[in-house]
Amino acid sequence: MTFEQIFSLGSTAALIGWVCLVFLPRRHLVIVGLRYGLIGSLAVAYTVLILLFFFRVEGGGFGSIAEVRA
């Protein structure tokens, strides 16, 4: 799976979550499902991607704007 596909999947999932909140704003089951299902899975995926790739970027860091861009 490419990064573009992962990003598209995450964006679509977030959009579905927002649509659920707009049309079913006070449904307890929807809120619990979004909180523990959608938000939890996005947080786990984000954490995994950070742990896998954060230290592999050549020239990356926080010492200068060029390192942040890398």
- Does the pTM surpass 0.95? The reply is no
For the record, the structure tokens of 59 come out as 């020239």
List Cβ neighbours of 16 (8 Å cut-off, separation of 6 or more): 38
Could you give the number of structural domains in the chain? Answer: 1
Structural domain boundaries enclosing 24: 3-69
Residue 54: pLDDT band (50, 70, 90) is confident
Per-residue pLDDT tens over the stretch 16-45: 999 999 998 888 998 998 889 999 999 998
List C-alpha distances in Å: 34 to 4, 17, 27, 29, 45. Answer: 23, 7, 11, 8, 15
Residue 11: pLDDT band (50, 70, 90) is very high
At 7 the pLDDT is 86
Percent of the chain with pLDDT over 90: 33
